[in-house]
């Protein structure tokens, strides 16, 4: 028997070598590409084991062939698996996340993302091809004999990969009970079941979410309506309607995080104009972005609907056909003209389709602007030119209007010509962080120019302004450099959550300034804007609450289920004392866990079931 097994192993040595190479390559990427850490021996065992079942299955598909085709298929399948690993690596370097199927189908964004991904490539990535080159060499030098297909091989392949996978799942369940209910925690899934298996599981999750709309019933929205009524917060009577009839100008500030506000680099202010504007505005210093893979589109969705985006992919792509009770629709019913100005392709993030669902009257896309080689860089029209050209478009609109302007220059990879640099780069091991400061400074200057021209054109006094950062610009991948800037030895999960704060300024000309410390997020902007304009939100389905309400809870939940209050931060399953940043008793976080989970679950229920069609 032993001799027979040995002979079989020798016969399949080429296939087994390919499996071993793929497992080793995956493990090395876990450690050095995705920086996945092990807290105990069992977790390290899982990292070593979890690539095996998928590798056996993928490479084993070559057993369906024979002769020279079989050996060729080993190369092809190894290459396909390597491409999957590499695309995840590139994506992870910027987003600190793993690819999902909805992201892969966002093909209309591919051309615009090309430059960003080129920046993420590294010459060391070539090591991913070494095993494939070795396998090709073995075939070339005829070290691998041709083999006929045996009938039982495919069945044996399926059984072997399934047994290995079940063994893997058994150990993973010991390490992390109820693992497969945590689809939102992609790193946890990859860590326990493997990257290739994760993509199969993600396909199942996405197909399940698609089915929810088919089986949704009108009664499904009743739970949401009850929850909304129970959590409705009365507006502050002193603020309600104070901006009625005024224009609303919203500035979505690309990749702007709060850590640059009121800070200096080499003795120079990073955001001098915003710092001054804070002194004339309502400023919220504990305001968090709540986006996930949808980035800017997620922030738009949150602000327009007071609903959360998906935990994977972008709602703008996956649910653009849903019914929404969006802010532009509400404003239209109350006599407002609504528009978006963004000097990018109208199809990027599927905006042309989604804006129709939101009820915008006009989308001024790239065709509405004059874009030349001289006035563009990186992702397109530079912010100064964008704002300057937007003034004329604003003047053509009926009043009162609601207009959102989305900036571009402070976008990864943070490119800027020398003539536009008003502050030096930072000096760290991260080129991304180093370049971030000059582009932030340039954006700040562009906003200042915009306000100056609004005053010159007579548009300033009769408008209110909402300025907010749309999402993070510096991901967890750059924590080492970020800790250098912040003057810390290292950044903890607590610090990472605090870095998700983005600026929010509500500027109403003539109003006294104040700094508001309420913990809040982008989901709170819709009810806040509606109440400032004197629009009743009692019958609207929202998961945010008015930032000025005397009844609001100081609370924000992030899309990854982390949540923050005045006193605690909960993330990665750990409760932190907000004052000290140190771990504290989990019981301090427990009273808020149900609300955090319920907010996300009910919001997802609305989106996946398209429940607002029943409202």
Mapping DSSP onto H, E and C, the string for 346-368 reads CCHHHHHHHHHHHCCCEEECHHH
For residue 62, the model assigns a pLDDT of: 87
3-state helix, strand, coil in the chain (%, to 5): 55, 10, 35
Distance CA 613, CA 609 (A): 9
User: Residue 585 domain-assigned?
Assistant: no
For residue 16, the model assigns a pLDDT of: 87
User: Residue 353 domain-assigned?
Assistant: yes
Q: Kindly state whether residues 52 and 115 are assigned to the same domain.
A: yes
Q: Kindly state whether residues 336 and 423 are assigned to the same domain.
A: yes
Strand pairing category for 376-377 and 282-284: unpaired
Q: Kindly state whether residues 75 and 193 are assigned to the same domain.
A: yes
pLDDT in tens, 259-273: 999 999 999 999 999
Q: Kindly state whether residues 253 and 191 are assigned to the same domain.
A: no
Q: Are 358 and 328 in contact (CB under 8 A)?
A: yes
Catalytic residue among 296, 403, 409, 537: 296
Q: Kindly state whether residues 381 and 322 are assigned to the same domain.
A: yes
For residue 303, the model assigns a pLDDT of: 98
Distance CA 551, CA 539 (A): 18
Q: Are 309 and 546 in contact (CB under 8 A)?
A: no
For residue 180, the model assigns a pLDDT of: 65
User: Residue 419 domain-assigned?
Assistant: yes
User: Residue 124 domain-assigned?
Assistant: yes
Q: pLDDT below 50 — which residues of the chain? A: none
For residue 236, the model assigns a pLDDT of: 96
Q: Kindly state whether residues 202 and 242 are assigned to the same domain.
A: no
For residue 254, the model assigns a pLDDT of: 96
What CATH number does the domain containing 277 carry? Answer: 3.40.720.10
- Please name every residue paired with 339 in a beta bridge, in sequence order, or none if there are none: 362, 403
Tokens, residue 343? 């000097």
Q: Which residue is listed with tokens 């994760």?
A: 198
User: Residue 488 domain-assigned?
Assistant: yes
Q: Which residue is listed with tokens 């971030």?
A: 436
pTM: 0.82
User: Residue 337 domain-assigned?
Assistant: yes
Distance CA 177, CA 181 (A): 9
Tokens, residue 485? 């800037």
Q: Which of 533, 308, 511, 309 is nearest to 402 (CA)?
A: 533
Strand pairing category for 463-469 and 504-507: antiparallel
User: Residue 224 domain-assigned?
Assistant: no
pLDDT in tens, 92-137: 887 677 877 766 665 555 555 555 667 778 888 889 999 999 999 9
User: What DSSP designation does 478 have?
Assistant: G
Return the number of other C-beta atoms located less than 10 Å from residue 413's C-beta: 18
Phi, psi of 493 (to 5 degrees): -55, -35
Domain count, the chain: 2
User: Residue 262 domain-assigned?
Assistant: yes
Distance CA 141, CA 266 (A): 60
Residue 600, preceding bond cis, omega within 30 degrees? no
Q: Kindly state whether residues 195 and 274 are assigned to the same domain.
A: no
Tokens, residue 244? 């009625």
Q: Are 206 and 100 in contact (CB under 8 A)?
A: yes
Let me know if 264 is a catalytic residue: no
Q: Kindly state whether residues 82 and 189 are assigned to the same domain.
A: yes
Residue 521: strand, helix, or coil: strand
Q: Which residue is listed with tokens 């080793």?
A: 24
Q: Kindly state whether residues 207 and 254 are assigned to the same domain.
A: no
Domain that holds residue 151: 2-212
């Amino acid at each position: 028997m032993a001799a027979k097994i040995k002979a079989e192993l020798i016969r399949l040595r080429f296939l087994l070598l390919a499996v071993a190479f793929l497992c080793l390559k995956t493990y090395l990427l876990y450690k050095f590409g995705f920086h996945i850490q092990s807290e105990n021996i069992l977790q390290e065992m899982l990292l070593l084991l979890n690539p095996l079942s998928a590798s056996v299955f993928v490479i084993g598909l070559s057993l369906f062939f024979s002769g020279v085709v079989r050996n060729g298929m080993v190369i092809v399948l190894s290459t396909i698996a390597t491409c999957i690993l590499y695309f995840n690596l590139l994506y992870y370097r910027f987003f600190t996340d793993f690819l999902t199927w909805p992201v892969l189908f966002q093909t209309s964004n591919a051309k615009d993302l090309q430059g960003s991904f080129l920046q993420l490539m590294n010459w060391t990535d070539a090591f991913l091809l070494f095993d494939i080159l070795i396998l090709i060499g073995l075939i070339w030098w005829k070290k691998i004999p041709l083999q006929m297909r045996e009938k039982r091989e495919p069945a044996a392949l399926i059984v072997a990969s399934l047994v290995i996978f079940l063994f893997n799942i058994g150990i993973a369940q010991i390490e992390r009970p109820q693992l497969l209910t945590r689809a939102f925690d992609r790193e946890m899934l990859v860590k326990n079941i493997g990257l290739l298996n994760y993509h199969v599981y993600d396909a199942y999750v996405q197909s399940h979410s698609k089915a929810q709309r088919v089986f949704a019933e009108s009664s499904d929205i009743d739970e949401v309506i009850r929850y909304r009524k129970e959590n409705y917060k009365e507006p502050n009577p002193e603020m309600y309607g104070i901006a009625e009839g005024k224009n609303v100008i919203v500035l979505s500030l690309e990749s702007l995080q709060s850590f640059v506000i009121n800070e200096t680099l080499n003795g120079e202010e990073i955001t001098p104009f915003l710092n001054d504007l804070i002194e004339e505005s309502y400023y919220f210093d504990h305001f968090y972005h709540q986006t996930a893979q949808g980035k800017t589109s997620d922030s738009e969705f949150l602000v327009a609907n007071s609903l959360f985006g998906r935990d994977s992919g972008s709602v703008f792509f996956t649910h653009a056909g849903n019914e929404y009770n969006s802010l532009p629709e509400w404003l239209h019913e109350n006599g407002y003209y609504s528009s978006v100005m963004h000097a990018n392709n109208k199809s990027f993030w599927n905006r042309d389709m989604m804006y129709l669902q939101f009820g915008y009257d006009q989308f001024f896309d790239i065709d509405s602007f004059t874009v030349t080689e001289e006035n563009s860089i990186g992702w397109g029209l530079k912010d100064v030119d964008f704002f300057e050209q937007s003034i004329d478009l604003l003047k053509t609109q009926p009043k009162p209007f609601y207009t959102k302007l989305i900036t571009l220059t402070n976008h990864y990879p943070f490119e800027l010509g020398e003539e536009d640099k008003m502050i030096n780069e930072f000096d760290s091991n991260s080129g991304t962080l180093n370049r971030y400061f000059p582009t932030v400074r340039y954006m700040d200057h562009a906003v200042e120019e915009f306000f100056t021209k609004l005053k010159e054109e007579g548009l300033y006094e009769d408008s209110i302004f909402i300025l907010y950062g749309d999402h993070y610009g510096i991901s967890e991948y750059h924590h080492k450099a970020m800790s250098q800037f912040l003057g810390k030895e290292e950044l903890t999960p607590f610090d990472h959550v605090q870095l998700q704060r983005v600026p929010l300024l509500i500027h109403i000309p003539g109003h006294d300034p104040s700094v508001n410390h309420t913990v809040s997020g982008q989901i709170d902007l819709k009810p806040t804007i509606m109440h400032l304009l004197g629009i009743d939100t009692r019958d609207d389905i929202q998961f945010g609450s008015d930032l000025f309400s005397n009844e609001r809870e100081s609370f924000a939940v992030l899309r990854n289920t982390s949540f923050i209050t005045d006193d605690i931060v909960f993330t990665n399953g750990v409760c932190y004392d907000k004052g000290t940043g140190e771990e504290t008793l989990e019981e301090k976080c427990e009273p808020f866990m149900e609300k955090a989970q319920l907010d996300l679950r009910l919001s997802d229920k609305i989106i996946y079931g398209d429940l607002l069609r029943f409202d």
